[in-house]
Structure 1
């Protein structure tokens, strides 16, 4: 082997994980390479108490409890799960060290693996500059309290964020305008709150955040609007937004008659995944996270809640309905706390 070839081999070796690390990771992935185990893992990860029994897991399929116990043992042997016996039942939970990794697997990798053959990669518009310039000028007129250079920055950042999330370019311009306008509104509200502007009516503001903003957070926001009306300002966002809302969730949103964007040109711009921004968090009184881990910034003075709710992206129609019912109960409880007089 020539010196150049040896140097190239060393460079490749320096970029690859070690043999020991690869072996350990491969063993863990092998333990998960079985559909029933993945379903069990998702059930444990999203259970309200963070733990579940063998009997409850057996309801996922027609296999016997001993078969379920075998699959659980495989995941225990590689360190994914831990268990303890209380009375006559054995309770299984995800080991704390693996919690973040499991959330990433279920909330980001799994939906991407399902959608990878169906979701086209978005390429930005060939010449978006004139449209973005007109958009910034229009927002400058509409929001005189926001400097023109800030409007330009928000418009261009919003466009770039929506390009990154994927999808078609058909509605990219109206989506950018809608998203940029909302960001400016959030920034102005956050500034008014922080400066204690006198005479401003303060409505509770709730931000629902999940990974893709294509299921849980969209549905929770729609339910909150449905019950609260104009008593609460509601937003939703995603730490890694998808190209579109899940079809099963879109049907539920339409049934709820969600009016999140009264000026939307159609349902594509009415229900669309939105990137998470610092301004949205700053403007919120309550931030509800669902599976997005540490992606949401933690700011002082905000109330944070983390809801363990299943992901409708991978759920059956019955599972989506169960997720909707779970969110409905949680949303009504939160609303009763924020606006006690609401029935």
Structure 2
């Protein structure tokens, strides 16, 4: 029997797939990473304040013997991800400079996406006849922002709904969250920097851990004396499970991931990024800082507590600069 050729399927004359040699090299590197302890050690090194870790520190991550830890480090070193240097009786490990960007992408973007993928739901079709609901929302919001044209209000409402719906796990509260997000964006759009209290924007990849914790800490300490926002370059479907308890302890029970928008950046006096690379537009007159803080998505309860403590110290330092007269509680 002869083969049947689909007339709609035309073979490509030029292959766009990765070359075999390159694929083999990449696969070897990925195979070296495909081990939980190696990923934990890589995460520890990547988020260490000095960018390096001693083998004794890495051994404390697990109950396996130190020779086993050394074996895993050797595997990562042999594929070129790590470099090592002996100082006295200990060996110190760093991420090879050429791999730093790739490791950041792995830990800050790919890992959270892999954890959340089984739980993602398509929410865009979750409501029937959503257009009239959004139109009514825009009509109700418009009087609160008389300086904004109704067409702009409608656009922001629809963008807010769509941005949240892309990653939402469930649609039961999507309309109410979209209304809150749209109101926040409209407030930012009409903000007058010269007469407003300082506004701080915390940005991480998923807006499900670090940025939420930092925002909650700042709000707890400063209250209405600082306007606090948080956002994600690639927002998650929900706040990380391990972070919810920490947020609840700070009095925040209604946090939800939000996409990064230009109006949030333009309205900010200070933008704090945490592991999201160069996604934030750089605008004149805005103060930018990048905080090297561990990702709680992959952290143990003790790790989340350490990340919270790190953020607490950083937030206190920022507030001491923004509001010198603010009295902060002792820790």
Structure 1: any 5+ residue segments left out of the alignment? 259-266
How has the CA–CA distance of structure 1 residues 320 and 23 changed in structure 2, closer, same or farther, with 3 Å as cutoff?
same
- Deviations along 1:54-112, one digit per CA (max 9) or x if unpaired, are 11111101233333222122112212122333444432221222222212211222122
Q: CA deviation at 1:337?
A: 1.6
| Greater helix share, structure number | 1
- What TM-score do the two structures reach when normalised by structure 2? 0.91
Q: 1:180 to 1:14 in 2, by over 3 A?
A: same
What is the alpha-carbon distance in structure 1 between the residues aligned to residue 20 and residue 183 of structure 2? 51
Specify which of 197, 203, 220 is matched with residue 197 of structure 2.
203
Q: 1:151 aligns with which of 130, 145, 153?
A: 153
- Checking the alignment, whether the CA contact within 8 Å between 2:156 and 2:185 is kept in structure 1 is yes
TM-score by length of 1: 0.88
Structure 2 stretches lacking a partner, 5+ long: none
1:2 deviates by 8.0
> What is the distance in 2 between the residues matched to 1:64 and 1:336?
44
Question: Could you report, residue by residue, the CA deviation over 1:287-313 in whole angstroms, capped at 9, with x for unpaired residues?
Answer: 111111122222222222211212112
Q: Distance in 1 between matches of 2:87 and 2:287?
A: 34
**SS of match in other structure, 1:168:** coil
**What CA distance in whole angstroms lies between the structure 2 residues aligned with 1:203 and 1:66?**
55
Inter-CA distance 23–329: structure 2 relative to 1 (3 Å threshold): same
Count matched residues: 324
Q: Is the 8 A contact 2:122 2:165 kept in 1?
A: no
Q: Say whether the 8 Å CA contact 2:81–2:99 is kept in structure 1.
A: yes
Q: Per chain length, whose mean CA-contact separation is higher, i.e. which structure has more relative contact order (CA < 8 Å, sep 6+)?
A: 1
Offset at residue 13 of structure 1 (A): 6.4
Alignment partner, residue 64 of structure 1: 65
What is the match of residue 237 of structure 2?
Answer: 243
Deviation at 1:255, TM superposition (A): 1.6
Q: Contact (CA 8 Å) 2:108, 2:275: kept in 1 or not?
A: yes
Please say if 1:324 is aligned against 2:308. yes
Residues in 1 aligned to 2:27 and 2:10: alpha-carbon distance in whole angstroms: 23
Match for residue 208 of structure 2? 214
SS in 2 for 1:293: coil
Deviates more, 1:74-83 or 1:41-50: 74-83
When the two chains are superposed, the root-mean-square deviation of aligned CA atoms in Å is 2.2
CA deviations over 1:111-143 (Å, ceiling 9, x no partner): 222232233332332211111111111222110
